Amino acid sequence: MTHSSDPKYGTDSAGRSERGDPTGFKLPRWADIPVTILTTLALTGIVVAIVWSSSYVPLPPAVVGSPLDMARVAAGHRLYMASCAACHGADARGVEKFGKNLRMGLAYNSTDESLQQLIIRGRQPGEPGHTTNIPMPPRGGRDDFGDSEISDIVVYLRSLQDPTRVTGPEPEVHVAVLDDADPEPVAAATPVAPSVPPTTGDATSGSTVAATFNSESALRGKRVYMNCIACHGKDGAGLKNLGADLLHSKFVSTSSDEALLAFIKTGRVASDPASILKLNMPAKGGNPALKDNQIQDVIAYVRSLQAEAGTK
């Protein structure tokens, strides 16, 4: 039996298909797709699956853990504002060139215990995994914070990372350090009883300017100064690689209150030619909620520290 060529079915005169099939059966059109394309698609799918599985990071026990008590959250918020906000921001989303976003990354993926220990011991440039190389003082610069206070800060951070874990009524306590500040500004030149006698001089010549300050304003400023402790220390003597010594600062003692107010509101970057220590200082100490009168109170408090140190 002879076979004629049939272009419709793709057979030759011997009855064989163009693909070598002696039955003369024509393969479906999808079979015309080159094998290399199918192989490429399959390999791509495998690679995507591998990359996805390797990038998946399961939530640590700390994040999917037990409910967070609102009272501890509130306490942690207050402590955080007093020690961490200057570098990590009032909303814990980080401050450029200062502190990381604490809602994600290392703080998110660490267990409660490891995060607490990190805060307690601090972090120095050059440590493994320290990508910003910005020093972090032990206990956020607050050596008066015990382990229980640090634990409350961790609880507060967890509440930001997962608000659904928070339970219980909000306690009737202050949750922000600045709640007690006067709503009315206290003018720097108000002629009220000063804690130290005024002095005169020219700031450009290095001599002191009017150092009159109100003791009540200084007392309020001591509370607001907690925004500055992380870098300048609780006594104003400064912390190495973080903040200047305010007790013996010629810049402070030779600047007017108005000039210091403008300086604190603006901040300073390390690249500023006028910066002697080449350290970054965030505007308003990293707390954008600070008002002028609160900064004026801080200035009065720093003046009182200088007076006590005998530097005026």
Look at the chain and report how many structural domains it folds into: 3
pLDDT digits (tens, 9 = 90+) for 256-300: 999 999 999 998 887 888 888 888 888 888 777 789 999 999 999
* 63 located within any domain: no
Domain termination residue (choose one: 175, 192, 217)? 175
pLDDT digits (tens, 9 = 90+) for 102-159: 999 989 999 999 999 999 998 887 788 777 777 888 888 888 899 999 999 999 999 9
The long-range contacts involving 142-148, CB below 8 angstroms and separated by at least 24 positions, are 142/82, 142/83, 142/229, 142/230, 142/234, 143/234, 144/234, 145/79, 145/83, 147/116, 147/120
The residue assigned the tokens 């030619």 is 273
* 20 located within any domain: yes
Residues 129 and 102 in one domain: yes
* 91 located within any domain: yes
Strand partners for 123: 136
Domain termination residue (choose one: 175, 210, 230)? 175
Burial of 62 (0-12, 13-18, 19+ CB in 10 A): buried
95: tokens are 């401050």
pLDDT digits (tens, 9 = 90+) for 37-72: 767 777 777 766 665 555 544 555 455 578 999 999
Domain termination residue (choose one: 30, 56, 82)? 56
Residues 128 and 73 in one domain: yes
What percent helix, strand, coil does the chain show, rounded to 5? 45, 5, 50
Say whether pTM exceeds 0.75: no
* 61 located within any domain: no
CATH at 166:
1.10.760.10
Q: What is the pLDDT of residue 295?
A: 93
Domain around 157: 68-175
Residues 189 and 303 in one domain: yes
* 224 located within any domain: yes
* 62 located within any domain: no
Residues 184 and 235 in one domain: yes
Separation CA 126–CA 72 (nearest Å): 34
